[in-house]
Structure 1
C-alpha cells in the first residue's frame, strides 16, 4: 500500500498513541520523520527515538513522554504544509503557538528544526507542523 503523506501518518500515530496512553509508537523511517522525532525530543515532548532495521526502510520507534501524573504533554499536532499546499515562512514571520508554549517544526537548509532553533540560527523554511 502506497502512503501519500508519511509525515501526516507519523503525526496521526503520535497523536493517537498519546491519546491512548501508549509508551511507544512505531512509524515508518525516513530522514524527515527522524528529524521531526529529534526536534520533538529536543523540545521535551518525547523521551527518545530509535531506528529498528527490518531489512527494508526501517521502523522509527518513538518513546512518548507524559507528565508526573500521566498528563499528556501535547494536545494537538496540526499538519501545516501539505503535499497539495506547501507553506513556507521567513524567520521574522514564524508563529508562536500558544504564545510560545507550543512549538512549530520546520524543514530548513540546516535540517529539521523547531521554531526556537530557527530563531537562534536565523533561518526559515517549510513549516511542517505545529504542536500545542
Structure 2
C-alpha cells in the first residue's frame, strides 16, 4: 500500500493503457473517486464502478481506446503536486496543457476541477496532475 494514492492511481491507468488492458483496479478513496468521476465527465475513460471485495473497496476503471484498439485516449499522465512538494497556483497562474489539448486537474476550495473550469470560476488551488 502506498501513501500517495493519486500517484498509484495514475500509474495503474498509465500501465493499463500501455499494455492494452480493458479494466484496471484502483483502491477506492474519496479523492480517487472524485478524480475518476472527473475523468469520466471529460470523456477520458469509458466508465467506472465501485466494488467491495473481501471487505475492501475498489474502483474498476474501464479504459477508453480509439477505433484502433492499441491507441488509448489517454496518451499521458504526469503528477505535478506530490506529498513531498506541493504545488499551488493562483487563478492567473493556471497552466494550459499542450496548447489546450490536455487538461490540468486542480484541487480547489470548491472541489476537484479542470484548468478550464478553474479559470472560469477564477479560483486557484493545488495542481494535482496533467492528462493528455
Q: Same fold (TM over 0.5)?
A: yes
Aligned to 2:131: 131
Aligned to 1:109: 109
Provide runs of 4+ in structure 1 moved above 4 Å.
none
The alignment's C-alpha RMSD in Å is 1.3
Secondary structure of 2:92's counterpart equals helix
Is there any run of 5+ residues in structure 2 with no aligned partner, and where?
A: none
Q: Could you tell me how far 1:57 is from its partner in structure 2?
A: 4.5
Aligned to 1:33: 32
Moved more, 30-39 or 11-20: 30-39
Equivalents in 1 of 2:54, 2:123: separation in Å? 36
TM-score (normalizing by structure 1): 0.92
Q: Could you tell me how far 1:55 is from its partner in structure 2?
A: 5.5
Superposed CA offset, 1:9-63 (max 9, x none): 0000000001111111100001111111111112111012211123644101111
Secondary structure of 1:59's counterpart equals strand
Moved more, 17-26 or 40-49: 40-49
Alignment length, in residue pairs? 131
